[in-house]
Amino acid sequence: MSKLSENLEVRRGSRVRPDDFARNLVTYCLDTTGNVRDWTPDANQEWFLEAKVRVTFWANQAQVRDAEKIAYRALTAGLYSDVLAELAYLRKAISDSDKSECYRLLDYIDDVLKGERK
């Protein structure tokens, strides 16, 4: 399981009662489209990986717009939690004029966003 999917499955909205936001759900689907490249020696098939992200929450009609914004913030915080945590260190490295630490942190953030680190 990747860090991204771990983040999405565990994070909850902050400052809400435990039952207000259900656990974030991520579902993955790996399947073939049915297309085949029969001109290749091993007859490659075309595949797709699909991810669906869902945050469920409770609200009445008057609350739904505000609750939607909170749910969206909870979702994005979950998606980017490991990158957001590094931004404070990056800011400190910039203020300290620590060029090598800035590059190290940028490389780390780049790898996380590309899915190359867990």
C-alpha span between 38 and 24 (Å, rounded): 41
C-alpha span between 63 and 57 (Å, rounded): 11
Decide: 74 and 14 in contact? Cβ < 8 Å: yes
Tell me the pLDDT tens digit for each residue of 95-112: 999 999 999 999 999 998
pTM of the predicted protein model: 0.55
Residues of the chain with pLDDT under 70: 1-25, 118
